[in-house]
């Protein structure tokens, strides 16, 4: 499989914060975008960037291997957020991204995320073998 990550390539996604993406412990009713949900959306933005720009074979994808993100500000349900990912380095199958999340008022998150490109069938086979070794299949 050949792939090439281009340094500086960017992707932007917009979405509205949904109730299933919030914390549930601060107060009753709708709450704020949770850190895990923000990171999940950052990771998906990076994954889509890799799929669109770096991987030409549909049997390949990428998985997250490192997250270093700061959650800077609270964002309420219903607010639109903008997620940005930019490729900053590429070595072998590993791609490092700069990630930013903002709402219409301020930056709400920033950091880096690394993904590793994988052949899905091979990755799945190793996963199934692990399930068996753990007695889960």
Clarify whether 65 is annotated catalytic: no
39/26 Cα distance (integer angstroms): 19
DSSP 8-state class, residue 87: E
The burial of 95, by beta-carbon neighbours within 10 Å (0-12 exposed, 13-18 middle, 19 or more buried), is given as: buried
Identify the active-site residue in 19, 35, 65, 80.
35
Clarify whether 35 is annotated catalytic: yes
Residue 119, number of CB atoms within 10 A of its CB: 14
Identify the active-site residue in 22, 41, 45, 71.
71
DSSP 8-state class, residue 29: S
DSSP 8-state class, residue 74: -
The residues with which 71 forms a beta bridge, in sequence order, are 109
Q: Classify 120 as helix, strand or coil.
A: helix
Clarify whether 113 is annotated catalytic: no
Identify the active-site residue in 41, 43, 45, 114.
43
User: Catalytic residue positions?
Assistant: 35, 43, 71
């Amino acid at each position: 499989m050949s792939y090439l990550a281009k340094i500086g390539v960017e992707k932007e996604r917009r979405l509205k914060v949904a109730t299933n993406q919030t914390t549930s412990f601060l107060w009753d009713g709708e709450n704020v975008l949770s850190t895990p949900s923000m990171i999940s959306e950052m990771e998906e933005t990076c994954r889509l960037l890799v799929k669109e720009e770096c991987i030409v074979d549909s049997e390949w994808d990428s998985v997250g291997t490192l997250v270093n993100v700061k959650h800077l500000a609270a964002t309420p349900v219903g607010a639109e957020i903008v997620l940005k990912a930019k490729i900053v380095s590429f070595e072998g199958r590993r791609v490092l991204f700069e990630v930013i999340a903002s709402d219409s008022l301020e930056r709400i998150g920033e950091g880096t995320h690394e993904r590793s490109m994988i052949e899905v069938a091979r990755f799945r086979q190793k996963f199934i073998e692990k399930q068996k070794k753990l007695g889960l299949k």
